[in-house]
Structure 1
Amino acid sequence: MPAPASLFSPRAVSLGLSCLVATATPVARAQTTPSTTLPAVKIRASAPEPNGRLQLDLPADTGSRLGLTPRQTPATVSIIDRNTIDTRGAQDTQEILRAVPGITAHNAPGNIGVSYRGFSGGSVTQLFNGIHLQYTIAARPVDSWIYDRVESIGGPSSFLFGAGGVGGSINYITKLAERHDISEARLRLGTQRLKEASVGLNRRIAGDGSGAGDHHIRIDLNYRRADGWTDGTGTRSTQLATSLLSDLGQGVTHTLAYEAQDEAVDRPYWGTPLLNPPGASLRVDPRTRDKNYNSADGLYEQRVQWLRSITDWRLSDSTRLKNTFYAYDALRDYRNVESYRFDAGNTSVIRSATLLQRHDQRLVGDRIEGSHQGQAWGHRSDWAWGLDVSVNKQTRFPNSLPGTVSTVDPYRFDTENFFDIPGMKRGFRPDRDNKVTTTALYLENRTALVPALHLVTALRHERIKLELKNRREVTAASPASFQRSYHPSTGRIGLVWDLAPGAMVYAQYATAADAPSGVLSTASFSDVRNNSELTTGRQAEIGSKLDFWQGKGTATVSAFTIRRKNIATQDADNSALTVLVGEQSSRGVELAVGLKPAAGWSVQGNVSRVDAQYDRFRQGGISLAGKTPTNTPETVANLWVSYAFAPSWQASMGVRHVGKAYADAANTMSWSAYTLVDLGLSHQVNRNISVVGRIRNATDRLYAANLTSTMAYLGAPRTADLALRVSF
């Protein structure tokens, strides 16, 4: 199989040049602006300290573009900062998400899934530095080392980031250059031959530290290699994040950032076959827990590159302009046999679903935005506005074979090399090009109606043009080309009432738009022809955020109801067609609490209960009204406790409970609820050196992270690792 393009290919270099050219004009024009004071810098300690309180008073771009904190925002907004990531030992972006109430996630190779408030897939927007890739598989787990924090907002949020986000939006925010020196490194070793090395450096490379003329560079690099817990699986990944921060004077700063991710998985694990008969409670044979039925040389590879050019111009203390040019390039290759099922007597495993696939995706865009803090009719009134233009193009190269590949003994077997499968040929043949061009205008406002009562509003209008180009045979079902346009308008209106110092209540109503099936960047000709409109989502939410116990505790609580209409459902009169009359809804409550009860103690927890169902939906000619969507547990709860029992020692424990989930939309098959326990022990050797040992899934619980009607994608068994962290 041809290797993906080099990270430093001519295409990557051309993206970099485009990035530099795009920002030259704004920087030059900004030189006449009066100077302003640079923001204060916080220096992080060399070792993370337990902090039980929730992050309610840090500005979060994911909840609003007005620079509001979670406490000021009429929505459920979570911030998982770098300190929390480190103290909990979150290995990748999916483990970080456990800190968000109600979220479940899995990393099955071809079906990266996040469920939030009863919705999943393209209905949960996953962003990278506020940029929407419009493709769910693009959100594969990434090692946590290169990220500064992760933010989220629950419920419809298309008014912030564009079509999608009915269930919520998640934003992974990369570390960027700062105005002080940082030197840190980590070495981690563990079971399954885990070897990981990470380093982070931040330095001033020019200037005298006074502001104008200063240039700071940051480099964060991570390399990881490990065997999988299933036979023959092995992973190798490298993450690089580097950025240059330049203080150009006259209130202008510029950041040029480049990121690269290179991942290869040998013989990826796709799942474990379920025992027959399936019954109401699904099971797997424990003896197949570590079996891998993929081809002997199965493969998943991806190479991802990001370029961002961010120009920030502070015209005054109250007015700011910002321009972000961004470019994304990704190439993903698959070579696998992906489906396995037991025969009726559970004596053999039937292997099928042969797929050779390549995804080639490029995204280029520019966002111009501004903010102003002012007055309206004698009241404080802050504004944010922006224009976002992007072009997202993806070409897919699928080559699949129908039918059974082989039938093997469940416990003792050998599998073939992929290209030894009869009928499978090397090389890639493009199927179609999907080009999504988006132009969006947005506006937000926060006005103090009275000193303790604020009205928060937002409105976004998008012009989306989807163009499909057929790269294969032209037929009536697959014409040479086809295009369709969408014009969604979405918004939010909310009230925030400050009841007392440290306590507020809020109410909000928000809307969203979403593709009827899948995402537009992978939509087929039939999707576009039959689904002429985007779905609509609406949410009503009330909640509160407060401090209590004389500042030792913080809490957030919310109750919500969401309804999504016009989803694609099977035509009652013709099962071969879909119509936009389906409906799906969810309602639930979320609670998060953080405590610092005494010196050395830290306690945080969250719990969510959601009642998600189809209100109008058909599959196989059968109505599924009242049924729960697949892989959507009713209850998700997390608890983290840490205790510094000696001056240089700290013990920690994490407990996660996930409720029952269904494998089919008819709700005839389910996996029982499960509870996981993680343990940790850290020792601060001296000011600059710490050692942390962790046991994950300490009880070795066998559980399904994702389900289909024939397979369970199992979570990892018990693992252990030891990490040495150094600051210098």
Structure 2
Amino acid sequence: MNKKNTALVLLFGACQSVWAADQAVELETLTVNGNEEQPSGVLLDTPIKTGSRLGLTARETPASVSVADRAVIEARGAKDTQDVINAMTGINASANPGYGGFVTYRGFTQNQITQLFNGINLGYSSAARPVDAWVMDRVELIGGPSTFLYGAGAVGGSINYISKLASREQQVLEGRLRYGSFDESEVAFGVNQALGGSDANHFMRLDFSRGHSNGYIDRNDRDTDSLAFSLLSDLTPDLSHTLAVEYLEDSEDSPYWGSPILKPTGRSMEIDEDRRFENYNVADGRYEQRVRWLRSILDYRLSDTTSLQNTIYHYNAQRDYRNLEQYAYTANNRLVERSASLLQRHDQNVLGNRLELSHEHALFGLNSQWAGGFDISRMRQTLHPRSGGGYDSVDPDHFDPGSFDDIPGMAAGLQKQRRHEVKTQALFVENRLQLSERLALLSGLRYDYLDMEVTNYGTVSATSPAFFERSWEPLSGRLGLVYDLSSSANLYLQYSTSADLPAGALASATYSNVGLFDLSKGEQWEVGSKFDFLDGRGSATVALYQIVRRDFAVRDSSNPNLMVQAGQQTSRGIELAGKLQVTERLQAEANYAYVDAQYDEFNEAVGGVSVSREGNNPINVPASVANLWLTYSLSNALQVGTDARYVASVYADNANTLKAPSYTLYGLFARYRIDEHTALTARLRNLTDEVYAKQAYGTQYYMGAPRSFDVSLDLRF
């Protein structure tokens, strides 16, 4: 039996078992006393924002959805948003400085996964650098095409990072102190305060965090600062306004870009473990990012069945790079050749307004929920790249890293190359129609008008004109059915479509990427189930899917110097997630994802010749990703736990000749609640000191963190 048939049997067998148990078998009831329910990422009955605009729960949504709320983020010791999403079903993410928001999910990577901030699409994966987890309220993930919700992109899925906002709680004060290996430290606090007495109409929230680390790679220091302020004002009983301001700063000295692999390069990539922590970047290498967010959110309840929300948003960011980025051993592995110097600045800003109207009424005597509205935005980005080729060869055992300004041509400073302006106008609508007591139909449709203008300040050529303009009008949608097998189990089926850029992103795309091409199209079929079992002691989800992405840019088979729109990729997979209260004191939670991702059509230019990569796997896409957590309560005050993460091997090139090995990471933690306000947590990460590649590209191996230990003190009043 093949994997697909096995998964189908598993899906329907599980659903039939749960249905039968609900209908015919009375299970022994276990009462859990003395301990609060442990935080879990399997939240079936909590309203989510990312799977729909209708305020549906995960159980009501015909799609695979993962949620990490504040309790889960804290329980798993997530330091930043990358830690959060790596615990979600099927996600594998890393933060190489050049690919700051690199994510792989359902066989797709980078801009094919939309990363949102409070539902706002910035259209550029480099804008999704990890953010300190302290300022996050929750992170949500929806699998598969979701262009119908958030605009062009999202063939593989969408991740939504949702910030903390002021709430109507009278007073909350919380803080954290953390210190660990590599002098890694965090100081953070948050306060939510009513401005006035018990009948206050205004509430404010302030959050701040500061992080520092000397880095697990030599000469790689990092500092982060996050500041978020929001003010909630109840202007009338039906009208409220929230003002939210956020500032994020991230800086790295001599960023780590990866370790060169040993030669000769066999199929399995290997590094010299004696030089495991060596940094081949220049001494004054640098990465910096400064981000400012402003949102004005107006909520108006027109009636018991109708509400309106309007959000004005502005994003401004400056990202600076100054690095020597590529390293390769000579044939005898005695010297390291350094190359690819890059001086770069991104000046990006986004200004937009989104209006959403929700309404509930009866349609043909059936309960019906509607959500619709429009979104208009303008994104501008200016790029200032200056680059160079080969630089020098150094002895890896003892060398002077040198200065960036010593690299020929780099001391001349920034040079403005291109300016991108993208205007988006979108209309969207969703509906949920309750066809019967057990069956609901969900539908969604979105129309976008995208207008792109690119001004070239550099050398003008046929493939880099002084100015070009393109426009696209994608239409995308979703149809889904949810059928309740019982009060605790359902089945769902959905079909969804997407539209995304054939290559690159609009914020940085060149004429050769998009100048002559239409948008790439994608479609997905997904079937799944969400259910509780053992009288609610356990919950689980299962999803089977197939995604086909067509017409992305590939090399012309007859002229490898030209790009044509002809590629196709198919991804088929299964995702499983579940939690179980095994005993009164022991909780288990796990997720697993398997994907078979292959190119159906893809030609690559190799030495001036077009080579077919049909049947090959995309770069950095693991076939399997799994996570496991076990938490045991020794008493009401003391918890201990362990976790494990498995990531399958990945290819580092389109030819599938270089492979980074699979890896498994283990962790341990102990948490002691000193009193109702204070908790002390000790955590050991990468227990076995595994040497592993979080990302592999070309002949470089971007190594993950070694074994580390940290202790944190958390307070909440």
Q: Same fold (TM over 0.5)?
A: yes
Q: Map residues 455-470 of structure 1 onto 2, 5 A cutoff.
A: 455-470=441-456
Whole-Å separation in 2 of the counterparts to 1:326 and 1:348: 50
Whole-Å separation in 1 of the counterparts to 2:320 and 2:47: 38
Give the match for residue 28 of structure 1: none
Matched to 2:421, the amino acid is K
Q: Secondary structure at the match of 2:420?
A: strand
Matched to 2:203, the amino acid is H
C-alpha contact (below 8 Å) 1:508/1:540 kept by paired residues: yes
Whole-Å separation in 1 of the counterparts to 2:50 and 2:665: 29
| 1:328-362 deviation digits (Å, cap 9, x = unpaired) | 00001000000000111111100000000000000
C-alpha contact (below 8 Å) 1:52/1:595 kept by paired residues: no
State which drifts further: 64-73 or 662-671: 662-671
1:111 Cα shift? 1.1
Q: Secondary structure at the match of 1:95?
A: helix
Match of 2:401 among 415, 425, 438: 415
Give the match for residue 193 of structure 1: 183
Whole-Å separation in 2 of the counterparts to 1:138 and 1:600: 42
Unaligned runs of 5+ in 1: 1-46
Give the match for residue 110 of structure 1: 98
C-alpha contact (below 8 Å) 1:121/1:518 kept by paired residues: no
Match of 2:194 among 188, 204, 229: 204
Match of 1:130 among 107, 116, 119: 119
Matched to 1:512, the amino acid is S
C-alpha contact (below 8 Å) 1:53/1:596 kept by paired residues: no
C-alpha contact (below 8 Å) 2:136/2:162 kept by paired residues: yes
Whole-Å separation in 2 of the counterparts to 1:426 and 1:216: 50
1:617 Cα shift? 0.2
Match of 2:223 among 236, 241, 248: 236
Q: CA RMSD in A?
A: 1.2
Question: Given the alignment of the two structures, is residue 54 of structure 1 paired with residue 42 of structure 2, yes or no?
Answer: yes
Whole-Å separation in 2 of the counterparts to 1:616 and 1:67: 39
Give the match for residue 554 of structure 2: 569
TM score, norm. by length of structure 2 = 0.93
Whole-Å separation in 2 of the counterparts to 1:225 and 1:645: 33
Q: Map residues 88-99 of structure 1 onto 2, 5 A cutoff.
A: 88-99=76-87
Matched to 1:236, the amino acid is D
Give the match for residue 263 of structure 1: 250
Matched to 1:195, the amino acid is S
When residues 49 and 405 of structure 1 are mapped into structure 2, their CA distance, relative to the original with a 3 A threshold, is farther
Whole-Å separation in 2 of the counterparts to 1:670 and 1:150: 31
Match of 1:299 among 282, 286, 300: 286
1:611 Cα shift? 0.1
Give the match for residue 315 of structure 2: 328
Match of 1:715 among 696, 704, 708: 704
Q: Secondary structure at the match of 2:277?
A: coil
Matched to 1:635, the amino acid is S
Match of 2:380 among 393, 400, 424: 393
Matched to 1:189, the amino acid is Y
C-alpha contact (below 8 Å) 1:299/1:336 kept by paired residues: yes
1:600 Cα shift? 2.6
Give the match for residue 308 of structure 1: 295
Question: Given the alignment of the two structures, is residue 285 of structure 1 paired with residue 275 of structure 2, yes or no?
Answer: no
When residues 522 and 72 of structure 1 are mapped into structure 2, their CA distance, relative to the original with a 3 A threshold, is same
Match of 2:423 among 408, 427, 437: 437
1:52 Cα shift? 4.7
Matched to 2:82, the amino acid is Q
1:53 Cα shift? 7.1
Give the match for residue 652 of structure 2: 663
1:49 Cα shift? 6.0
Question: Given the alignment of the two structures, is residue 183 of structure 1 paired with residue 169 of structure 2, yes or no?
Answer: no
Give the match for residue 22 of structure 2: none
| 1:28-69 deviation digits (Å, cap 9, x = unpaired) | xxxxxxxxxxxxxxxxxxx99623572111111100001111
C-alpha contact (below 8 Å) 2:141/2:158 kept by paired residues: yes
Matched to 2:570, the amino acid is S
Whole-Å separation in 2 of the counterparts to 1:71 and 1:339: 47
Whole-Å separation in 1 of the counterparts to 2:460 and 2:653: 35
Question: Given the alignment of the two structures, is residue 600 of structure 1 paired with residue 585 of structure 2, yes or no?
Answer: yes
1:662 Cα shift? 0.6
Question: Given the alignment of the two structures, is residue 610 of structure 1 paired with residue 595 of structure 2, yes or no?
Answer: yes
Q: Secondary structure at the match of 2:499?
A: strand
Whole-Å separation in 1 of the counterparts to 2:515 and 2:305: 48
Whole-Å separation in 2 of the counterparts to 1:572 and 1:294: 37
Q: Secondary structure at the match of 1:520?
A: coil
1:478 Cα shift? 2.2
C-alpha contact (below 8 Å) 2:503/2:514 kept by paired residues: no
Matched to 1:240, the amino acid is L
C-alpha contact (below 8 Å) 2:501/2:514 kept by paired residues: no
1:708 Cα shift? 1.2
Matched to 1:547, the amino acid is D
Q: Secondary structure at the match of 2:634?
A: strand
Question: Given the alignment of the two structures, is residue 544 of structure 1 paired with residue 529 of structure 2, yes or no?
Answer: yes
Matched to 1:702, the amino acid is V
Matched to 1:551, the amino acid is G
Q: Secondary structure at the match of 1:521?
A: coil
Match of 1:554 among 539, 548, 551: 539
1:529 Cα shift? 2.2
State which drifts further: 517-526 or 558-567: 517-526
Whole-Å separation in 1 of the counterparts to 2:494 and 2:159: 19
Give the match for residue 13 of structure 2: none
Tell me how many residue pairs correspond in the alignment: 677
When residues 720 and 48 of structure 1 are mapped into structure 2, their CA distance, relative to the original with a 3 A threshold, is farther
Whole-Å separation in 2 of the counterparts to 1:373 and 1:405: 65
Whole-Å separation in 1 of the counterparts to 2:564 and 2:123: 23
Q: Map residues 371-520 of structure 1 onto 2, 5 A cutoff.
A: 371-402=358-389, 404-520=390-506
Match of 1:101 among 83, 89, 92: 89
C-alpha contact (below 8 Å) 1:543/1:556 kept by paired residues: yes
Question: Given the alignment of the two structures, is residue 674 of structure 1 paired with residue 659 of structure 2, yes or no?
Answer: no
Whole-Å separation in 2 of the counterparts to 1:539 and 1:478: 35
C-alpha contact (below 8 Å) 2:148/2:444 kept by paired residues: yes
Whole-Å separation in 1 of the counterparts to 2:432 and 2:501: 30
Matched to 2:586, the amino acid is W
Whole-Å separation in 1 of the counterparts to 2:353 and 2:91: 30
Q: Secondary structure at the match of 2:38?
A: coil
Matched to 1:329, the amino acid is N
Whole-Å separation in 2 of the counterparts to 1:80 and 1:250: 31
Whole-Å separation in 2 of the counterparts to 1:632 and 1:169: 17
